[in-house]
Amino acid sequence: MAMMAGKTALLELLRQEGVDLMFGNPGTTELPLMDALAGDHALRYVLALQEAPVMAMADGYAQASGKLAVANLHVAPGLGNALGMLYDAQKAGSPILVTAGQHDQRFNLTEPLLWADLPAIARPFVKWSAEVRRVEDLPRAIHRAAKTALAPPMGPVFLSLPGDVLTESGDLDLGAPTRVASGMRADAAAIAQAAALIARAERPIIIAGDAVAQSGALAELAALADAIGAPVYDEGMASRAMFPSSHPLYRGAVVRLPGTIRTMLAEHDLLISIGGDLFTLSLPGTVESVPEGMKIVHLDTDPWELGKNFAEDVALLGDPSASLPELTQAVRAAQGEAGAARAADRRARLAAETAASLAALRARALAAADRSPIDPLALMHAIGQTLPADAVVIDETVSSGTGLRRLLASDDAQSFFGLRGGGIGWGLPAAIGAKLALPDRPVVALVGDGSAMYTIQALWTAAHEKLSMVFVIINNASYRILKQRTHAMQALAAQHDLYVGMDLTEPRIDYVQVAHGLGVAAQRAGTLAEFRAMLQAGLHAEGPLLIDVAVDRNWKPV
């Protein structure tokens, strides 16, 4: 037991939980914390200029580091500003302790300026939400929050911290962290049942999800895919690289439309999901994504995802890294020599098909290499050719990134991070968080121009922190995906060729000037050759670089 102020105890508790930096944007209710930081030089405070970038930076850091991230917000408006990015963090399963300063409890009943019931606001987006009412409860609250955020399935948590809790002193027992062991093996009987189904399948397909990357099980999933000869697809909204892009069985991401998914699955007799959602859709359809009677085996760390939308023949609750070796071993035993030979034949045929489709994709990109404005597919190909093998790509291309992961060398779980939740504005600040987590790796953010404007002030943090990284703005001066989907309705907009509120023109946004104003070097690329040279220079530059790339604005189906 030791007598200490709540603000001092808070920093010590965070250190116990392995936290060495905090993302924030302070206000009056955070002043006790900021005062404590003035006397504590061990914890690094990363300042962002608005709460949405704060939240997304913490998200990128949590995903890239695998550690607990901390985001500190300012009362009700600050928490409100962060909710869109908190939604993305929830969907990505990012372990983040989100805190917000609250007014002194002595006058909260009067509903002072900026006050609100903060835990109630945060609750739909987090695993646990509470307000600390006494300084004596602070150690228990922080340790419970950290344990909960990092326990599978991981995700953000929220604590409201009233000012008086941080300024008051108490005789505190700081306690110690608790970690829930995450390597849970799936039930042995269920593994045997799944192995029997997989061994009998003639045309299996695998959907890989973020749980694979979170548990570091890319090699284990590749071993299963090789053993059964199955193509592997990313789940439709993937936030991580969950399968090596160079693997001959890798096919890229699932399209988030039920008719397209159903057509793909109709070619198979067994669906195997390893941590993949079944299915996150962008639009409704006239048919279900999964054909009637299709057999399903699903392994996940989150019981909510098991059997959520479709009946599953075998639903396994377990960690992919711990469970996949046992499943693969059981499959090999169930296959026998004849089954293994059939799987090898499938593997060889699928590898040839994968190579042919990838060659065709590259040929399309090369054929478009000389187009002006720049063709988006040609740009993705150029990026894949230019980046080094250890590059980390943050992807918020939305409608311009077709084929990106197949064209990248992204073979490890930290090589690629995508917009899992779909709330745009995530990419620029998430890339900053990833760079802070992985300072020795080249980090490149690929962000649509519409998305960039949601959190453009994040560039200031990159300049302030002197981060050597590259931001690529893929500029079609529009909300292209909205035009595509409005056109697909074949209603008034298509008849009049008029798409209201979807063009970023008159005036066009000058991202080079905006970047300069926020302290970031910036250039505009008009050709692929110019872009390649700028990207190469940016990868070796001191400090951040933004490249504004004008791409073809065409969006209508050919």
Domains of the chain: 2-172 (3.40.50.970), 188-358 (3.40.50.1220), 369-550 (3.40.50.970)
The span from the CA of 404 to the CA of 398, in Å, is: 11
Instruction: Please give the share of the chain, as a percent, with pLDDT higher than 70.
Output: 99
pLDDT at 1 over 80: no
pLDDT at 3: 87
Q: Mean pLDDT over residues 281-298, rounded?
A: 91
pLDDT at 89 over 70: yes
Let me know: does 294 contact 267? Beta carbons within 8 Å.
no
pLDDT at 487: 85
Instruction: Please give the share of the chain, as a percent, with pLDDT higher than 90.
Output: 85
The span from the CA of 80 to the CA of 64, in Å, is: 25
pLDDT at 557 over 80: no
489 versus 250: the higher-pLDDT residue is 250
pLDDT at 70: 98
286 versus 456: the higher-pLDDT residue is 456
Q: Mean pLDDT over residues 463-482, rounded?
A: 94
Partners of residue 546 on adjacent β-strands? 471, 522
- Listed in sequence order, the DSSP H helices in 137-181 are 138-150, 163-167
Task: State the average pLDDT for the chain.
Answer: 94
Which tens digit of pLDDT belongs to each residue from 381-440? 999 999 999 999 999 998 888 889 999 989 999 999 999 999 999 999 999 999 999 999
pLDDT at 398: 84
Model confidence at 316, pLDDT cuts 50, 70, 90, reads very high
Which tens digit of pLDDT belongs to each residue from 212-263? 999 999 999 999 999 999 999 999 887 889 999 999 999 998 888 888 999 9
pLDDT at 331: 97
Which tens digit of pLDDT belongs to each residue from 120-140? 999 999 999 999 999 999 999
pLDDT at 558: 58
User: For residue 395, which of 246, 499, 252, 276 has the smallest C-alpha distance?
Assistant: 252
- Listed in sequence order, the DSSP H helices in 443-527 are 449-452, 458-464, 480-488, 492-496, 511-517
Task: State the pTM of this model.
Answer: 0.96
DSSP codes joined into one string, 336-372? HHHHHHHHHHHHHHHHHHHHHHHHHHHHHHHHTTT-S
